[in-house]
Amino acid sequence: MADPIVAAERFFAERYGLSQQACEKTLDAALERKADYADLYFEFRNNEALTLEESIVSRTAKSISQGVGVRVCAGDRTGYAYSDEVTVDRMRLAAHTARAIADRHGGQPGAVAVGAASAGHDLYALATNPIDAAISDKVGLLEQIDRAARAADSRIKTVVASFAAEDKLVMVVNSEGRLVADRQPLCRLSVSVVAEQGGQRQGASYGGGGRVEFSYFLEEERWRQYALEAVRQALVNLDAVEAPAGELVVVLGPGWPGVLLHEAIGHGLEGDFNRKGVSAFSGRLGQTVASPLCTVVDDGTIASRRGSLNIDDEGVPTRRNVLIEKGVLRGYLQDRLNARLMKTAPTGNGRRESFAHIPMPRMTNTFMLAGDSEPQDIIRSVKRGLYAVNFGGGQVDITSGRFVFSASEAYLIEDGHVTRPVKGATLIGDGPRVLTRVSMVGNDLKLDAGVGTCGKDGQSVPVGVGMPTIRIDGLTVGGTSALGA
């Protein structure tokens, strides 16, 4: 693909006849009464999805959405209005509406002068966009997955394979005279299976993707790895016993278990919660909030990752943010509004679901850095505990930091050995305390395969998670059998 900044800027100029002068006049209208900041967010999105179920393609969908959002910030007030018609008249009407919402009388308006487009990163320079691959190739891939999963074991009774891709072009023009644009490809391949044995049914899912080409899934038959991993997880759970209940030493496996870190820690470090003083981490910068073995970062600059972006949805280049360094809280994730009100700098974490949504501080790729311990030594150090390898759903209370997570794949650790798989295990704890109980951190940092989606205030955005193997000394496990069983 062409340079993403040049391609996106040219696209909006040609498709909608947008000129810098039109953007300047719209921003001038937004700032007509005293305001601190205003911006325009343009978006054009092309989405595609295919699903194969019962060995036939059961659903195909293709959609195009477009629009422009106008935001005005005055003090801690924000006005936002949007239109799915990208015309000068609609932009001007949205600007007046947003200005009225954020209205703060007084002061003198200033004229906005927009400069040349400025560059961000170049994290996903693809030769071809995944959405442009032939439909026949995508259907063929889903059929291969279906056959591979069913052939893996006769107990597999249901297979659902799906592929989703999008090509999103964005442009941000703000009252500081900055213009940035980006073209953001994204795709994901997912497999869900159900295994049945003796009247018992167990399901499992796996998949991956990122800001990658369609050929990514064909390399080393990555698609087959997804199918076989989903099958493996389902079959493991067919043989699982009931999980114990009580306080146990818990070992979290590498990769996807980082979703616990994302929910229990990451959300509590977002700037809006801390500015309002409602996070369990509010006012704790410079304080010890975790074991000295723990360093947690949020990094939106990792090439091709699902959670990575050249620029965030406010036009700020993404960056690597150290949140917790050797147990000490070093920073929060900031968008422009909360950074200004907290008298700090934006961190490239202003994100929104679409042009119809206001930006807010959100994570990109959040993970814990590797330590020095061998994963096998961590397992061997546990007399009796739980080894949690994969997670399903979870929830967290930002104010208290309390969380509950269900483990979709977990095992007992007995006398330093991983033994029986268990089902029905939930992990219960609170974010500020759980990291203080980390006593060993493995040298096997792994990021997830590229399927994460984060929800906040009704908005969903793609994210990444990760962690090495870690040992937590004492975490409440909710199960259905006695601890000594």
- Residue pLDDT, tens place only, 292-347: 999 999 999 999 999 999 999 999 999 999 999 999 999 999 999 999 999 999 99
Residue 485 pLDDT > 50, yes or no? no
Taking only the tens place, the pLDDT of each residue in 407-436 is 999 999 999 999 999 999 999 998 889 999
Beta strands 384-396 and 246-252 are parallel
The DSSP symbol for 272 reads H
Q: Do 149 and 286 belong together in one domain?
A: no
What is the structure's pLDDT at 353? 98
Q: Do 390 and 311 belong together in one domain?
A: yes
485, part of any domain: no
What is the structure's pLDDT at 208? 98
483, part of any domain: no
What is the structure's pLDDT at 347? 98
Give the range of the structural domain holding residue 465, as residue numbers without chain letter.
242-478
Q: Do 223 and 280 belong together in one domain?
A: no
484, part of any domain: no
What is the structure's pLDDT at 105? 53
Q: Do 143 and 155 belong together in one domain?
A: yes
- Full-model pTM: 0.94
Picking from 207, 238, 269, the residue at the C-terminal end of a domain is 238
Q: Do 247 and 133 belong together in one domain?
A: no
What is the structure's pLDDT at 412? 97
Q: Do 209 and 324 belong together in one domain?
A: no
Q: Do 291 and 416 belong together in one domain?
A: yes
- Mean pLDDT over 474-485 rounds to 70
Burial annotation 371-380 (CB, 10 A radius, 16+ → b, else e):
bebebeebbe
| Band of residue 223 on the pLDDT scale cut at 50, 70, 90 | very high
SS3 labels along 223-248:
HHHHHHHHHHHHHHHHCCEECECEEE
Q: Do 388 and 300 belong together in one domain?
A: yes
Picking from 212, 238, 264, the residue at the C-terminal end of a domain is 238
| Band of residue 277 on the pLDDT scale cut at 50, 70, 90 | very high
| Band of residue 108 on the pLDDT scale cut at 50, 70, 90 | very low
At 51, which CATH number? Answer: 3.30.2290.10
249, part of any domain: yes
Residue 107 pLDDT > 50, yes or no? no
What is the structure's pLDDT at 357? 98
Residue 483 pLDDT > 90, yes or no? no
Q: Do 228 and 317 belong together in one domain?
A: no
The number of folded domains in the chain is 2
- Which residues, in sequence order, are CB contacts of 477 under 8 Å at separation 6+? 243, 244, 245, 246, 247, 248, 250, 386, 425, 426, 427, 428
Q: Do 101 and 56 belong together in one domain?
A: yes
List C-alpha distances in Å: 106 to 31, 103, 174, 473. Answer: 11, 10, 21, 58
- Mean pLDDT over 459-468 rounds to 98
Q: Do 368 and 461 belong together in one domain?
A: yes
